[in-house]
Structure 1
Amino acid sequence: MKIFLLEPDKALQNRIETCLNQYRLRINVHKFQHEEALLSHAESFCEYALFILNLANPLDPSLMHFVRNNGGDAPIMLILEPTFDPPKLKTLYYHSYNDIIFKPFFPEEIMFRIYKLCDIWNDDKFFFSQDIYFDCKNLQFIYREEEIALGKKEALLLKFLLVKSPCVVSFQDITYYIYRGESVNEDCIRSLVRQLRAKIPLSFIETVKGEGYRVVKRGE
């Protein structure tokens, strides 16, 4: 998946890219710092799944219209500087941007918005690397050439942890999402986590004492 990121702050660009690629599917972020890049890349607009734009004059819709008129049908998220005048937000909403975010923000905040805009919350595959991934639809964890079968509840738990990453998932959330009204206690959930950990040859499910579990930075 390709994202067009127009942002003059190069350090912020890099933080966003690092955050996106740390937790989920590899996302190809094409980074630009000047608005001229929009004008010179019109022939490839149709290839992008999302445009993230920090424009010098966000109230001027001409660049947005340029994207749309040149095949850029993907959602557009607008980044606004903290100096932007809030009463002018009404004008921006009339321009029909898909989302707006004010600086400063945490990379995780924009990450979750991107997942929602690109409709990838329900992806069937969660990649750790090219040959290591979780195939949710087929209840399998693929570790290079090995296919590791997961039980239905194990797969639901793993998907839930990955979707919510890097946030902590509480015992209550797991009970609701995995067991759907069944009467279970925390020991039952701990047992399910142990089963999942025993099957997967990577250590990325972290116990947060007194709270629940979360997926930490992936790696072998």
Structure 2
Amino acid sequence: MKILLCEPDRELRKEIVDQLNKYRLKINIKDIGDEKKIFEEEVSSLNLFSLFVLNLSDPEDTKILNFIRRSGATVPILLILEKDVSPHIFRKIYYLSYDDVIRKDFYPQEIIFHIYKLCDIWNDDVFFISKNVYFDYKNSIFVYNDSDIHLGRKEALLLKFLFVKNSHVVSFDEIIYYVYDNEVIKEERIRSLVRQLRAKLPTSIIQTVKGEGYRIKN
């Protein structure tokens, strides 16, 4: 797949590209620092991109957005906003045809998950930690380099839910609803399931958030 990344911050561009290549098989990324270069692209070439990630000097100006859409490209557009952007802008860009918005400052890992979701890379079945470490939900297997670790049904459900929520905390109530179908159970049963899962996984990826629940470590 091919992504066009327009971000004036050279260091951030590099971090995003590095993270994309770290978390997934190689992705073809065209990164540019000057948004005017988008207009230099051949109109026919815009259809070759699977995603546009744009940090525009004026997010309310629709020239670039319209240029992309008029080319026939219907793929998602992720808009990056500077941290000092005026709050009034959100109302206007809400009605423009951007597919997602992320505001600085953010960790490179955070925007990666936005990109993966927009491109449907996750597909709700395979969740990558690195190229050789990933969770195959459909087959209930955690792959760690050359080792396949088989998980039980509830272990797989819990791990999938944690991945879907990314780095957000998953509460006990949410686990009861998603993993146990709202069955009346004690929290100790959930803790026991987490212990089982941690014992099987060769890498420490599940973090306990005291008094709240669990999440996948960044």
What TM-score do the two structures reach when normalised by structure 2?
Answer: 0.77
Deviation readout 1:149-206 (Å, 9 max, x if unpaired): 2111111111111122322222222112111111111211111112212222222222
- Distance, in Å, in 1 between the alignment partners of 2:173 and 2:19 is 27
User: Which range moved further: 179-188 or 120-129?
Assistant: 120-129
User: Which range moved further: 172-181 or 68-77?
Assistant: 68-77
User: Which range moved further: 83-92 or 171-180?
Assistant: 83-92
Contact (CA 8 Å) 1:25, 1:126: kept in 2 or not?
A: no
Equivalent residue number for residue 11 of structure 2: 11
Contact (CA 8 Å) 1:26, 1:127: kept in 2 or not?
A: no
Change (3 A) 1:184 1:78: same
- Distance, in Å, in 2 between the alignment partners of 1:111 and 1:91 is 25
Is the counterpart of residue 106 in structure 1 residue 106 in structure 2? yes
Contact (CA 8 Å) 2:59, 2:93: kept in 1 or not?
A: yes
TM-aligned CA deviation for residue 138 of structure 1: 1.3
- Distance, in Å, in 1 between the alignment partners of 2:83 and 2:146 is 49
- Distance, in Å, in 1 between the alignment partners of 2:84 and 2:200 is 51
What amino acid is aligned across from residue 129 of structure 1 in structure 2? Answer: S
Change (3 A) 1:37 1:169: same
Change (3 A) 1:27 1:60: farther
TM-aligned CA deviation for residue 117 of structure 1: 3.4
Equivalent residue number for residue 66 of structure 2: 65
Stretches of 4+ aligned residues off by more than 6 angstroms: 18-22
Equivalent residue number for residue 80 of structure 2: 79
Runs of 5+ unmatched residues, structure 2: none
User: How is 1:163-182 mapped onto 2 (pairs within 5 angstroms)?
Assistant: 163-182=164-183
RMSD, matched Cα:
3.2
Equivalent residue number for residue 156 of structure 2: 155
Is the counterpart of residue 207 in structure 1 residue 208 in structure 2? yes
- Distance, in Å, in 2 between the alignment partners of 1:146 and 1:109 is 28
Contact (CA 8 Å) 2:83, 2:105: kept in 1 or not?
A: no
| Percent of aligned positions that are identical | 50
Equivalent residue number for residue 128 of structure 1: 129
Equivalent residue number for residue 33 of structure 2: 33
Count of residue correspondences? 215
Equivalent residue number for residue 194 of structure 2: 193
What amino acid is aligned across from residue 206 of structure 2 in structure 1? Answer: I
User: Which range moved further: 192-201 or 141-150?
Assistant: 141-150
Deviation readout 1:84-119 (Å, 9 max, x if unpaired): 6666666655543334455x4434765564455334
TM-aligned CA deviation for residue 54 of structure 1: 2.2
